Amino acid sequence: MGRTPNDFVDFVITSPPYDDVRNYNGYSFQFEEIAQALYRVMKPGGVVIWVVADATINGSETGTSFRQALYFKKIGFRIHDTMIYYKNNPMPQTGNRYHQHFEYMFAFSKGKPKTFHPISETTKYRGLANMKNRGKSGSLDYEKVERTKEKKVGNVFGYSVGGGISTKDKIAYNHPAIFPEKLVIDQMETWTNKNDLVYDPFMGSGTTAKVAHLLKRQWIGSEISQEYIEIAVRRLEENGGKID
Ligand SMILES: C[S@@+](CC[C@H](N)C(=O)[O-])C[C@H]1O[C@@H](n2cnc3c(N)ncnc32)[C@H](O)[C@@H]1O
């Protein structure tokens, strides 16, 4: 990111390595430095989708997600929306906690988001409307109506995860923590337009790059592990893209 100009990137979607939950070949990252660099490289109105959850250490959730969100705010981002990535089929948990069904999906924006194409759904509603005529007794008769209308979806997004579901690309499963592709599609379509520049600072198996390629966005990415870069390269090639 150090080589990326200021105000350059339209959209980031990423999932950082958090709380040392997994040991990605021993690499670590400097959260504050990276958050500040993200602020610098984002265009005004650009949006960062930061997908993160807490580990439980010594019986307590770490609070890392909240601390990171507040740090992003401190350095100038807006916490535009705290969305939830709901896992339809989470890993079962033992002990005295409910199953961990979700991760946070923070939307941080550099000023007011410049692009928003909300996902909508068709809803049916029934009700009484339109006074039709007066009944003999003078009471009011209302027409029973059934209508459909489009409305924005809520900010909890459910996805099924796991082998063969998160992606059809077999090679991606050589990485331990891949995004479900549909999550990236939904967020990228919401916050970007064709040809926008998308960046993933923790690219892993290259899900962001693949989706950007298929949705005709431009993309750049960073990944520290050579092993994962090779996975991303092959995955891109299998999907008609390439990495320079
Ligand atoms: C949660 S994974 C990302 C997975 C990705 N979203 C996907 O769909 O495959 C986090 C990635 O960050 C990488 N990473 C860790 N420290 C890094 C650093 N300092 N710079 C760049 N990448 C780093 C890890 O190697 C790992 O692949």
**Distance of CA 26 from the midpoint of ligand 1 (Å):** 11
pLDDT confidence of residue 145: 78
Rounded mean pLDDT of 9-13?
98
**Distance of CA 224 from the midpoint of ligand 1 (Å):** 7
pLDDT confidence of residue 110: 98
Structure tokens at 37: 């660099």
| Residue 24 banded pLDDT, cuts 50, 70, 90 | low
Name which residue sits closest to atom 24 of ligand 1, judged by CA. 24
Burial of 142 from C-beta contacts in 10 A (0-12 / 13-18 / 19+)? exposed
Nearest-5° Cα angle at 169, 155 to 178 = 45
pLDDT confidence of residue 137: 59
Rounded mean pLDDT of 18-41?
77
CATH architecture of 9-118+154-238: 3-Layer(aba) Sandwich (3.40)
- Pick the range with the lowest mean pLDDT from 18-22, 105-109, 155-159: 18-22
- Whole-number Å distance between alpha carbons of 225 and 28: 11
Q: In the predicted model, is pLDDT for residue 153 greater than 70? A: yes
Q: Can you give the pTM of this predicted structure?
A: 0.90
- Pick the range with the lowest mean pLDDT from 41-50, 87-96, 120-129: 120-129
From the CA of 200, give the closest atom in ligand 1. 6
pLDDT confidence of residue 69: 97
pLDDT confidence of residue 17: 85
- For residue 164, give Cα distances in angstroms to 13, 28, 63, 173, 241: 22, 29, 32, 9, 21
Residues with CB under 6 A from ligand 1: 15, 17, 24, 27, 29, 175, 177-179, 202, 204-205, 207, 222-225, 228
pLDDT confidence of residue 26: 47
pLDDT digits (tens, 9 = 90+) for 62-72: 999 999 999 99
- Pick the range with the lowest mean pLDDT from 130-134, 173-177, 208-212: 130-134
Q: In the predicted model, is pLDDT for residue 179 greater than 90? A: yes
Percent of the chain whose pLDDT exceeds 90: 74
Domain residue ranges in the chain: 9-118+154-238, 122-152
pLDDT confidence of residue 101: 95
